[in-house]
Amino acid sequence: MLTVATGNKAVALAVKQAKPVVVAIYPITPQTEIVEQIAQYVSQGDLSARYIDVESEHSAMAACIGASMTGVRTFTATSSQGLLYMHEMTNWAAGARLPIVMANVNRAIGPGWNIWAEHTDAMQERDTGWLQVYVSTVQEAYDTTLMAFRIAEHNDVLLPVMVNLDGFLLSHVMQPLDTVEPADFIPPLHLPHTVDPKNPMGYGTLTGPDEYFKFRWDIERSMRDSLRVIEAAHKEFFQRFGRTYGFTEDYRCEDADVVVVSMGTLGKEVEVAVDNLRNEGIRAGSMRLRWFRPFPKLDLMNRDVVVIDRDYSFGFGGVLAHSIQAKNRTGVFSVIAGLGGQEVTYDDIAGFVKNRHIGREYWFGVSDNV
Amino acid sequence: MPKEEFVLKGTSACPGCSASLALRYVLKAAGPDTVLIVPACCTSVVQGMYPNTAVNVPVVNVGFATAGASASGMSNALRALGKKTNVVVYAGDGGTLDIGIQALSGALERGTDFLYVCYDNEAYGNTGMQRSGGTPLGAKTTTTPLGKPEVKKDIERIVAAHEPPFMATACAAYPQDLFRKVKKALSIRGPSFIHVLAPCPPGWRYPTEKSVEIGKLAVKSGVWVLYEREYGQLAISSPSRTALKNPIPLEEYLAPQGRFAGIDPKTLDILKQRIAKNLQRLAREESGVC
Amino acid sequence: MFEIRIHSRGGQGGVTAARLIALAAIRDGRYATAFPFYGAERRGAPVVSFVRIDDAPVKVYSQIQQPDLVFVMDMGVMDVVDVLHGLKEGGTVVTNSAHKHEFAGFRTFNIDLTGIALKEDLVVAGNPILDTAVIGALAKLGIITIESAKKAIAEMFTDERDIKTADDAFREMTV
Alpha helices, H only, chain C:
14-27, 113-119, 131-140, 146-156, 160-172
pLDDT score recorded for residue C40: 59
**Other beta carbons within 10 Å of B109:** 16
Query: Does the beta-carbon distance from C61 to A266 stay under 8 Å?
Result: yes
Q: Residue A77 pairs with which residues in a beta bridge?
A: A103
Query: Does the beta-carbon distance from B81 to A62 stay under 8 Å?
Result: no
Distance CA B156, CA B72 (A): 20
Q: Is residue A30 part of a domain?
A: yes
Is residue B131 within 8 A of residue B97, CB to CB? The reply is no
Q: Is residue A145 part of a domain?
A: yes
Q: Is residue A369 part of a domain?
A: no
Give C-chain residues touching A269 at CB under 8 angstroms: 59-62
Q: Is residue B1 part of a domain?
A: no
Q: Is residue B5 part of a domain?
A: no
**Segment C90-117 mean pLDDT:** 94
Phi, psi of B204 (to 5 degrees): -95, -5
**Segment A239-258 mean pLDDT:** 98
- Residue C14 in contact with partner chain A when CB distance is under 8 A: no
pLDDT score recorded for residue A362: 96
**Other beta carbons within 10 Å of C144:** 28
In terms of domains, do A26 and A167 share one? yes
Q: Is the pLDDT of residue C11 over 90?
A: no
Q: Is the pLDDT of residue B251 over 80?
A: yes
- Beta strands at C69-72 and C2-9: parallel, antiparallel or unpaired: parallel
From A186, A215, A241, the end of a domain falls on A241
Is residue A69 within 8 A of residue A17, CB to CB? The reply is no
Is residue A1 within 8 A of residue A178, CB to CB? The reply is yes
Q: Is residue B3 part of a domain?
A: no
| Helical (H) or strand (E) element with A259 | strand A258-262
B neighbour chains, 3+ CB pairs within 8 Å? A
pLDDT bin (cut points 50, 70, 90) of residue C39 is: low
Q: How many CA atoms lie within 13 A of A39 on its CB side?
A: 13
Q: Is residue A359 part of a domain?
A: yes
Q: How far is C56 from chain A (nearest CA, A)?
A: 12
Is residue A25 within 8 A of residue A76, CB to CB? The reply is yes
Question: What is the DSSP secondary structure assignment for residue A119, as one 8-state letter?
Answer: S
In terms of domains, do A170 and A261 share one? no
pLDDT in tens, A84-121: 999 999 999 999 999 999 999 999 999 999 999 999 99
Fold of C2-172: Pyruvate-ferredoxin Oxidoreductase; domain 3 (3.40.920)
pLDDT score recorded for residue A370: 55
Contacts of B145 (CB under 8 A, 6+ apart): none
pLDDT bin (cut points 50, 70, 90) of residue A178 is: very high
In terms of domains, do A236 and A144 share one? yes
Q: How far is C65 from chain A (nearest CA, A)?
A: 10
Q: Please give the residue that has the higher pLDDT: either C157 or A52.
A: A52
Chain mean position to CA A139: 14
Give A-chain residues touching C155 at CB under 8 angstroms: 3
Q: Is the pLDDT of residue C42 over 70?
A: no
- Return the CATH number at B145: 3.40.50.970
pLDDT in tens, C104-143: 999 999 999 999 999 988 888 888 889 999 999 999 999 9
- Residue A93 in contact with partner chain B when CB distance is under 8 A: no
Residue of chain A minimizing CA distance to B86: A197
Total domains, chain B: 1
Query: Does the beta-carbon distance from A52 to B78 stay under 8 Å?
Result: no
Complex ipTM tops 0.85: yes
Give B-chain residues touching A208 at CB under 8 angstroms: 49-50
Q: C40: burial class by Cβ within 10 Å (0-12, 13-18, 19+)? A: exposed
In terms of domains, do A226 and A266 share one? no
Per the structure, the complete domain to which residue B255 belongs is given by: 18-286
From A241, A270, A286, the end of a domain falls on A241
**Segment A149-176 mean pLDDT:** 97
Instruction: Output the CA–CA distances (angstroms, integers) from residue A125 to A162, B41, B126, C83, in the order listed.
Output: 10, 26, 29, 42
Is residue A18 within 8 A of residue A145, CB to CB? The reply is yes
Give C-chain residues touching A345 at CB under 8 angstroms: 60, 62, 65
- Return the CATH number at A101: 3.40.50.970
**Segment B206-230 mean pLDDT:** 98
Is residue B123 within 8 A of residue B129, CB to CB? The reply is yes
C neighbour chains, 3+ CB pairs within 8 Å? A
Distance CA A241, CA A180 (A): 7
Q: How far is A224 from chain B (nearest CA, A)?
A: 26
pLDDT score recorded for residue C113: 94
- Single-letter amino acid code for the residue at B70: S
Distance CA A89, CA A70 (A): 17
C contact residues 66-125, partner A, Cβ 8 Å cutoff: none
Q: Is residue A222 part of a domain?
A: yes
C contact residues 33-62, partner A, Cβ 8 Å cutoff: 33-36, 38, 58-62
Q: Where in chain C are the domains?
A: 2-172
Distance CA B100, CA B117 (A): 13
**Other beta carbons within 10 Å of C99:** 8
**Segment B69-94 mean pLDDT:** 98
pLDDT score recorded for residue A297: 92
Total domains, chain A: 2
Query: Does the beta-carbon distance from A271 to C59 stay under 8 Å?
Result: yes
Give me the sign of the Cα torsion angle C167, C169, C172, C175.
Answer: negative
Per the structure, the complete domain to which residue A143 belongs is given by: 2-241
Distance CA B68, CA B164 (A): 14
Q: Is residue B103 part of a domain?
A: yes
Peptide bond into B51 cis (omega under 30): yes
Q: Residue A258 pairs with which residues in a beta bridge?
A: A284, A304
**Segment B63-71 mean pLDDT:** 98
**Segment B216-244 mean pLDDT:** 98
Q: Is residue B9 part of a domain?
A: no
- Return the CATH number at A287: 3.40.50.920
In terms of domains, do A187 and A225 share one? yes
**Other beta carbons within 10 Å of B84:** 9
Distance CA B203, CA A77 (A): 42
A contact residues 234-253, partner B, Cβ 8 Å cutoff: none
What is chain A's mean pLDDT, rounded? Answer: 97
In terms of domains, do A224 and A269 share one? no
Residues in chain A: 370
Q: Residue A176 pairs with which residues in a beta bridge?
A: A4
Strand, coil or helix: C96: strand
From A241, A268, A291, the end of a domain falls on A241
**Segment B96-124 mean pLDDT:** 98
